[in-house]
Amino acid sequence: MIWASIITPKGSEADRIAGVWWLMFGLATFVYVVVAGLIVYATVRGRRRRARTSNLREDAFIWIGGVAAPVLILFVLAVVTVHTTEALRRPARDALSVDIEGKDWWWGVSYPGTHIVTANEVHLPVDRPVDLRLTSDNVIHSFWVPELAGKQDVIPGQPNHLTFTPEATGTFVGRCAEFCGLQHAHMEIRVIVQTPADFGRWQARQEATRTEPVSDEAAAGAAVFQAQACAGCHTVRGTNANGTVGPDLTDFGERQTIGAGLLENNPRNLADWIRDAPSLKPGTIMPSFHSLSDRDVQQIVAYLESLR
Ligand code: CUA
């Protein structure tokens, strides 16, 4: 599991949020130390007997410590919070648009104006503003990649936008942050931030026409994939497979995980997944295929892992 934290920001929005977080943490620590110090002082000093008369110095202490200081602290926090929230929602110019759709339980990813469709992994160029358009085709999810930006609800019929600029290359892991059913915990999104050159190469490769299967095994797998139910639910661009129920598999071999972060993408896990996905991810729409022979499964695996 890759470490993901709001206090190691690698995106413009997360940066701002982390700033507010540190300010709140600093002020809270300061108040805690002062109050704890006074309690210790009062305990050590003990009770003193004296006449009950009003004392100007004690009154001032109450007015400053109990009224003026809290009002000032809350005022500063209110101004900073409102200012930051307003800055977060400012639309960016020249932003790269990416459409993200919350599914049961995975993420569909597409790039408007291109043919690129993928799943559970978003490729972005570093230092360029991005505008994520978030929708759902089922229930409410929440898109959250802590190192890049704050949470944003993903609601059916209500596109929400998340705008930020990634500030470092690398892979950033996100989660669904709104309980959305049985596999809420297995709805991982990975954001792969690349240099502009690497991103350009990725885009060009995605847009390129696919070549024929790389091996006889893969070619046989392609035939099984078409003949079995696979092609009815999944799309592989450039073939007759154009189902839209499950993730687009055109670049499957390049993806890091299977089942939205459930398993590492390797031939062994893929074979297990094809044979019996529901036992690995109960509730998934992907059915089990116990009827496939081991040979069929191996060929499909060879085919899918060759797609990139
Ligand atoms: Cu999707 Cu929780």
Q: Does pLDDT of 258 surpass 80?
A: yes
Phi-psi region of 170 (alpha: psi -120 to 50; beta: other; left: phi over 0): left
Q: How far is the CA of 160 from the centre of ligand 1 (A)?
A: 16
Per-residue model confidence (pLDDT) at position 303: 93
Confidence of residue 138 (pLDDT cuts 50, 70, 90): very high
Per-residue model confidence (pLDDT) at position 149: 92
Ligand 1 atom closest to 185 (CA): 2
Per-residue model confidence (pLDDT) at position 65: 86
Q: Specify the pTM.
A: 0.86
171 to each of 136, 174, 189, 291, 299, how far by Cα in Å? 24, 10, 10, 37, 30
Q: Pick from 96, 86, 176, 90: which is nearest to 138 by CA?
A: 176
Q: Whose CA is nearest to atom 1 of ligand 1?
A: 141
Q: Does pLDDT of 1 surpass 60?
A: no
Mean pLDDT for 250-263 is 92
pLDDT in tens, 169-182: 999 999 999 999 99
Could you give the CA distance from residue 206 to residue 141 in angstroms, rounded to a whole number? 27
Question: 141: Cβ below 6 Å to ligand 1?
Answer: yes
Mean pLDDT for 135-141 is 95
Q: Pick from 246, 240, 210, 223: which is nearest to 299 by CA?
A: 223
pLDDT in tens, 93-129: 889 999 999 999 999 999 999 999 999 999 999 999 9
